[in-house]
Amino acid sequence: MSTSAFVLPVSLALHLLTSASPAPQNTATAPSQDPAPKSAATASVKAAPPAVSKLSAAQQATAAKLVGPALAEGHAYARLAELTDGVGPRLSGSESAEAAVQWALRSFQADGVKAWKEPVKVPRWVRGEEHGEILSSERTRGLPLALLALGGSAPTPPEGITAEVVEVNSLEELAALGDKVKGRIVLFNHTMSEAADYGRFAGMRSRGPAAAAKQGAVAALVRSLATASLRTPHTGATRFDEGGPRLPAAAVSVEDALTLHRMLQGGTVKVRLVLGCSDLPEADSSNVVAEVRGREKPDEVVLLGAHLDSWDVGTGAHDDGAGVVMVMEAARLIAKLPQAPRRTVRVVLFMNEENGLRGGRAYAEAHAKELSKHVAAVEMDAGGGRPLGVSLHAGPGGEALMRPWLAPLEGLGAARFLVGHATGADLSPMEPAHVPFVGVRVDSSRYFDVHHSMADTLDKVDPQDLSRSTAAVTWMAYALAEAPGTLVRPTAPESDEPPPAKK
């Protein structure tokens, strides 16, 4: 694909590099910028002095060599087109997931960046046939349901399952019903309307079907976790206990969940559900690892991570193709510098983040002895929106260490520290090693419009937003690898809650 339509003029790129940063946004009016903040406060801008450039002339020149091309060349968007339109959806264990691994290796080779595969054993779940309908009754005509099976769902019998629907709005409400759900299809309804709601309701999808199965339900329907819908269902993973009961589970569109809710107010509603899911034997797959070796302290590693797999619907453009091309582009641009940074910059494209996290665990296990030398880790897995700022999970003094290095991000509107999560799902297995985490946060306010749906395609990614966030990631990777000092290691996990994984 030609990139000419997506390239920023050099004059605009230089203007962005040198212009002043926009004023920080008031997150009281824009609480959905963070994909899953714990509270309104976690998405706020920290009250800290603005970034003041204390970089040397040589460091500022390096910033121009990294940020300028990231903005002006359009390389990240062109590569995203290759991944999404060329390779397509990449559910772990599939042929297309293996094609993505080979694509990544070829791309790193073309960039002059050393890369290799590391083995990962992944689950192999296949979607198969899927359809459902609300059966006609004395009150209503029958209606088809727009649905997608949840990853990990059990199949129905070939003839399907027909049962009455019972609606719940929380796991607690389900538990309170006890045996009343036996023999029924449980509808998990909720009121997600903005990105900040995802963390509140994701448990109904990930844990709800298993809980319903233990109470004797025959199937589960979950309202899609979405901030916009044109009757588009959004899939995602659901988990069942090993050896525990499983049942067929599907996400229904927002509109269909609301239809079921209204119908249930008037009496009994029956649904017929047919899912042809299957679990195949685990497959051999790979993480793709690449690095630019440091010139002075090559054993100290700054890790940039994103996940190469996607769901089998859409083409995984925002989730997580955008993150993949950002970190790949960071390695490409840093490798082109006349002098490598002090420390090694390592890119890891994790496999199986969506339905198992096997890649993140495999990397942490394989590199356990060197995690003490991982001086920082960044995960990009919140879409291709514009950059907002930087968050840290480190010991004391982190902001003071990094503040001077934010100056080149002023023209991108990202030269500020944000309160909130800096970790990610694939980084979470590294938490016991107290690896410092750095978040290059992007605007995810519209991310859940298309997340895990057929609509997650290249056209939803804005090329200029992608280039700006690529520039921010590239510069922060270099800064962490080049700074004279390193972040103090945190003494505790980021929180007692699970990391704000999207899955």
Catalytic residue among 353, 379, 482, 494: 353
Largest CA distance in the chain: 79
Whole-number Å distance between alpha carbons of 377 and 300:
11
Contact in structure between 322 and 380 (CB atoms under 8 Å):
yes
Residue 53 CB neighbour total at 10 angstroms: 15
Helix (H, G, I), strand (E, B) or coil at 204: helix
Of 339, 323, 338, the closest CA to residue 427 belongs to: 323
List all residues 6 or more positions away from 297 whose beta carbon is below 8 Å from its beta carbon. Answer: 342, 343, 344
The token duo for 88 is 């397509």
Starting at the edge strand found earlier in the chain, the sheet holding 219-223 runs 143-145, 130-134, 270-275, 161-168, 185-188, 219-223, 249-252, 147-149
What radius of gyration do the chain's Cα atoms show? 23
Whole-number Å distance between alpha carbons of 483 and 316:
34
Whole-number Å distance between alpha carbons of 473 and 421:
16
19, amino acid identity: S
Of 276, 287, 292, 400, the closest CA to residue 350 belongs to: 287
Residue 432's φ and ψ, nearest 5 degrees, are: -60, -20
Q: For residue 247, how far is the Cα from the chain centroid?
A: 26
First to last CA, the chain: 31
Partners of 229 in the β-ladder: none
Contact in structure between 443 and 389 (CB atoms under 8 Å):
no
- Asked if 353 is an active-site residue, the reply is yes
Whole-number Å distance between alpha carbons of 149 and 160:
13
Helix (H, G, I), strand (E, B) or coil at 101: helix
Contact in structure between 448 and 318 (CB atoms under 8 Å):
no
What's the angle, vertex CA 31, arms to CA 440 and CA 13, rounded to 5? 40
- Which residue's entry shows tokens 């988990």? 239
Catalytic residues: 353
